[in-house]
Structure 1
Amino acid sequence: MNITTLRGVLLCCSLVTLLFTVGCQRQQEQITLRMAHTLDQEHVVHKAMVYMAERLEHYSAGQMHIQIYSGGQLGSERELIELLQIGSLALTKVSASPLEGFVPKMQVFSVPYVFRDSAHLWAVLNGAIGQDLLNSMQKARLHGLGYYDAGSRSFYTTNKAVHQPADLKGLKFRVPNSQTAVQMVQTLGGAATPVDWGELYTALQQGVVDGAENNPPSFYLSRHYELSKYYSLDEHTSVPDVILMSLPVWESLNTQQQGWVQQAMNDSVRYQRELWQEASDDALAKVKAAGVEVIYPDKAAFAAAVKPLHQSLQGTEVGDLMAEIALIQAETAGASND
Structure 2
Amino acid sequence: MKQLKTTLAALLATAAMAGAAMAECEVTLKSSDTHPDGYPTVEAVKHMGALAKERSGGRICIEVFHSAQLGEEKDTIEQTKFGVIDLNRVSMGPFNNLVEQTKIVSLPYIFRNVNHMHKVMDGAIGDEILAAFAPHGFVGLAYYDGGSRSFYNSQKPIKSMEDLKGMKVRVMQSDIFVDMMTAMGASATPMPYGEVYSAIQTGVIEGAENNWPSYESSGHFEVAKYYTLDEHLIVPEVLVMSQVSWDRLSPEDQEIVKTAAKDSVPVMRKLWKEREKASEEKIRAAGAEIITEIDKTPFIEAMIPVYEKYVTSPEMRDLVKRIQATR
Q: Same fold (TM over 0.5)?
A: yes
**Aligned-partner Cα distance in 2 for 1:240–1:120:** 11
**Aligned-partner Cα distance in 2 for 1:318–1:96:** 16
Is residue 291 from structure 1 mapped to residue 283 from structure 2 by the alignment? no
Is residue 302 from structure 1 mapped to residue 292 from structure 2 by the alignment? no
Shift of 1:109: 2.5
The secondary structure found in structure 2 opposite 1:101 is: coil
The secondary structure found in structure 2 opposite 1:73 is: coil
The secondary structure found in structure 2 opposite 1:102 is: coil
Q: Which runs of 5+ in 2 are unaligned?
A: 1-18
- Counterpart of 1:38 (choices 27, 31, 34) is 34
What do the CA deviations read for 1:158-211 (whole angstroms, capped 9, x no partner)?
A: 112111122110101100011000000000000101000111111111111110
Question: Match of 2:145?
Answer: 149
Instruction: Please list, as runs of the form range in 1=range in 2, the aligned pairs for 1:113-152 lying within 5 A after superposition.
Output: 113-152=109-148
Instruction: Please list, as runs of the form range in 1=range in 2, the aligned pairs for 1:27-66 lying within 5 A after superposition.
Output: 30-66=26-62
Which amino acid in 2 is paired with 1:321?
L
Question: Match of 1:248?
Answer: 244
Question: Match of 2:15?
Answer: none
Question: Match of 2:178?
Answer: 182
Q: Is the 8 A contact 2:104 2:311 kept in 1?
A: no
Q: Is the 8 A contact 1:42 1:221 kept in 2?
A: no
Shift of 1:78: 1.3
Change (3 A) 1:253 1:70: same
Q: Is the 8 A contact 2:151 2:229 kept in 1?
A: yes
- Counterpart of 1:214 (choices 210, 216, 237) is 210
**Aligned-partner Cα distance in 2 for 1:308–1:267:** 38
The secondary structure found in structure 1 opposite 2:208 is: strand
Question: Match of 1:79?
Answer: 75
- Give the RMSD, CA atoms, in angstroms: 1.8
The secondary structure found in structure 2 opposite 1:182 is: helix
**Aligned-partner Cα distance in 1 for 2:247–2:226:** 47
What do the CA deviations read for 1:216-237 (whole angstroms, capped 9, x no partner)?
A: 0011000000101000010001
What do the CA deviations read for 1:280-304 (whole angstroms, capped 9, x no partner)?
A: 1211111111111011122233222
Question: Match of 1:326?
Answer: 324
Change (3 A) 1:29 1:232: closer
Which amino acid in 1 is paired with 2:222?
E
**Aligned-partner Cα distance in 1 for 2:202–2:105:** 30
Change (3 A) 1:122 1:62: same
Question: Match of 1:233?
Answer: 229
Shift of 1:308: 3.1
Question: Match of 1:336?
Answer: none
Question: Match of 1:7?
Answer: none
Shift of 1:307: 2.8
Q: Is the 8 A contact 2:25 2:61 kept in 1?
A: no
The secondary structure found in structure 2 opposite 1:320 is: helix
**Aligned-partner Cα distance in 2 for 1:167–1:320:** 35
What do the CA deviations read for 1:118-155 (whole angstroms, capped 9, x no partner)?
A: 22111210112111111111111011001001111100
Which amino acid in 2 is paired with 1:301?
P
Is residue 110 from structure 1 mapped to residue 133 from structure 2 by the alignment? no
**Aligned-partner Cα distance in 1 for 2:185–2:253:** 50
**Aligned-partner Cα distance in 2 for 1:204–1:321:** 37
- Counterpart of 1:197 (choices 193, 197, 209) is 193
> Paired residues, what number?
305
Instruction: Please list, as runs of the form range in 1=range in 2, the aligned pairs for 1:262-301 lying within 5 A after superposition.
Output: 262-296=258-292, 297-301=294-298
**Aligned-partner Cα distance in 1 for 2:25–2:44:** 25
Q: Which runs of 5+ in 1 are unaligned?
A: 1-16, 333-338
Q: Is the 8 A contact 1:169 1:190 kept in 2?
A: yes
Which amino acid in 2 is paired with 1:87?
G
Shift of 1:36: 1.0
**Aligned-partner Cα distance in 2 for 1:64–1:184:** 42
